[in-house]
Structure 1
Amino acid sequence: MNSAFQTTPLVSVIVVAADSGPTLRECVRRVMECEVPLELILVDNGSSDGIPQAIERAMQQEWRLRPVYNHANLGFGPAVNRGAAQARGEVLLILNPDCMLDDASLRRLLELLKAHPKAGVVGAVVCDEQGAPDRASYRRDPYLGRALRSLMGQGEGVNIGGEMPAGPVRAEAVSGALMAMPRVVFENLRGFDEDYFLHCEDLDLCRRARDAGYEVWLAGDVHVLHGKGGSSRHRPVFVSWHKHRGMWRWFRKFDPAARNPALSAVVWLGVWVHFLLKIPGQWLRLLRRKAAPVAGSA
């Protein structure tokens, strides 16, 4: 392996960990098995599980692994921005720690970026362990009317219904669980808006990319396994709080309905009432998960 390869990776994969659990090890292993010249920037947001440090120790001879320790949970977007600031690749691949990438999928994403010079963001169809696509892989801007239709399960909502496309299609937004984009585009957009902590920053980035004249594409023929993150399972109310904060911020930034003060007040109230109504169910599911190992060992 020559020194030029070591200093000029084609892709910088950025993975943000925050007590992400053992799936992080498998995520890192899959990335490192890819044959595309890459570097993996592992950004740790103050994890207490010790897994990022264990990965670094186990791979201390692997020059492609570049750990970054924040020593606090800065949020997803700020952590990606800090990883991107150290990236050397022409392409950034933002990858959740519970997403399992493979070489063929990575190569297909790079092909799409090359085939569409105006492409600013390319996403993939992220799926659960049964292969069912996450509807958030293929989305529209969450304007108020669309969000209400999604909430009520009526009409054309935020997530696009029906079968997932079999090939590449233009989209308004894709899932932030996996996003490939030229580094120059990310830099031109000044990265993620750091006033989001978790959730909706991907919608924001896709919207700003389109407003800047770039295209957003979904690679419908690329399916990537996406599990459920450890942070979401263990801190559901914390995650839900920030999700609702993100929804409110996106509304205030981009939705024309926010210009109406009375309507804006109603939306603010609706967002936080919705958050409060979800808390009992989240706590109940968390208690059941905690009790399950005890019941199984009896």
Structure 2
Amino acid sequence: MNLAIVAVVVTYQSSSTIEDCLQRLRDARGIAEIRVVDNGSVDDTVDILQRHASHDPRVRFIANPDNPGFAAANNQGVADSSSPWLAFINPDVMVEADTLAVLCERAQPLGDCLLGVEQVDEHGRADDAVRRRDPDFLAMLRSPGSGSKLALARDPQVAMQYVPAISGAVMLMPRALFDRIGGWDAGYRLHAEDLDLCRRVRGAGGVVAIANDLQVLHVRGVSSRSRPFFVEWHKHRGLWRYFQRFEARQRSLPVRVAVWGAIWAHALLQVPRLLRAA
């Protein structure tokens, strides 16, 4: 079976990390194509992309004049490639030389699957959000604190841990599955689109899992730090869209109204923290 991988990277103001991210991808085993879609950066990101593209024919980039969102940009990158395996990589993720190739080899016998890996920061701390459950909006209403937590614990007893959802920072899946479920939902601008993709993979009969013994370095949120209000707005907007797509039809009108209120009340509660950090 052809295990060639296209790495799809979406950038926005990513000049501080995209150099290392692309060099790691270019050096990685199994990478046949690299597609970078830039969402209107005004820093040096596009200059870096041009330099890498001039040195490596596998690298091509699309420079969007505006920012259509993470999901839409990922779809653009996939459409401009042909490899049978798709790896979605954040611009602040640094892969090891064999990580994606090994993950692809493990994915092949699973058939329809969406796989991720462990993610650690610069200090070696694991990201709790790598393994996730589906959002439970009734639990959020009953207990706004604990009910909103999606992180699942790592199971040290297994190499491949099956979970409801994984982080969108590193994802690998077969193109055939991606095409069958219709790709990323471009109605999301930022956040919750990865939860949506995982749920639709499972709905199509696929499995979602984390390879616990593989890991990447994730610097985390470099572009998000420059626009915290934008990120928080779209994070909560994404949750509301997710609820509408997967749960709203099963809930009464009072519950739908309560969920809407809870989501946006939580958004308002973030404002003092964002102002202090500004």
In structure 2, C-alpha distance between the alignment counterparts of 1:222 and 1:151, rounded to whole Å:
33
Q: In 2, are the aligned partners of 1:209 and 1:215 still within 8 Å (CA)?
A: yes
Name 2:51's counterpart in structure 1.
57
- Cα RMSD for the two superposed structures: 2.1
Alignment of 1:195-206 (within 5 A): 195-206=187-198
For 1:87 and 1:139, locate their aligned partners in 2 and report how far apart those are by CA, in whole Å: 29
Q: After superposition, where does 1:219-238 map in structure 2 within 5 Å? A: 219-238=211-230
Q: Deviations over 1:43-69 (max 9, x none)?
A: 000100032223313541310101111
For residue 163 of structure 1, report the CA deviation from its aligned partner: 5.5
Deviation at 1:224, TM superposition (A): 1.1
Closer, same or farther in 2 for the Cα pair 1:58/1:108, shift >3 Å? closer
Partner of 1:23: 17
The answer to whether structure 1 residue 126 and structure 2 residue 128 are counterparts is no
1:212 has 2:204 as partner: yes
- SS of residue matched to 1:60: helix
How far does residue 258 in structure 1 lie from its aligned partner after superposition? Answer: 5.5
Q: Which residue in 2 is equivalent to 1:96?
A: 90
Unpaired segments ≥5 residues, structure 1: 1-7, 287-298
Aligned length: 277
- In structure 2, distance between residues paired with 1:219 and 1:150: 31
1:220 and 1:276 mapped to 2: Cα distance? 36
Structure 2 stretches lacking a partner, 5+ long: none
| Identity score, percent | 37
Question: Which secondary structure does the structure 2 equivalent of 1:230 belong to?
Answer: coil
Within the candidate set 109, 112, 123, 1:115 is matched to: 109
Q: Say if 2:29 and 2:98, in contact at 8 Å, map to a contact too.
A: no
Q: Verify the 8 A CA contact 1:197 1:246 in the aligned structure 2.
A: yes
Q: TM-score, normalised by structure 1?
A: 0.87
Q: Whole-Å Cα distance in 2 between the matches of residues 165 and 174 of structure 1?
A: 19
For residues 140-289 of structure 1, the aligned pairs below 5 Å read 140-147=133-140, 151-153=144-146, 157-161=149-153, 166-255=158-247, 259-286=251-278
Match of 1:138 in 2: 131
Q: Deviations over 1:222-246 (max 9, x none)?
A: 1111112232101001001000000
> Match of 1:270, as an amino acid?
A
Q: Distance in 1 between matches of 2:121 and 2:141?
A: 26
SS of 1:103's equivalent in the other structure is coil
Query: Aligned-pair distance for 1:173?
Result: 0.5
Q: Is the 8 A contact 1:42 1:66 kept in 2?
A: yes
* Distance change in 2, residues 1:208/1:126 (3 Å): same
Q: 1: CA distance between counterparts of 2:152 and 2:132?
A: 6
Supply the distance in 2 between the matched residues of 1:118 and 1:205 (Cα, whole angstroms): 13
244 and 258 in structure 1: CA distance in 2 versus 1, 3 angstrom threshold:
farther
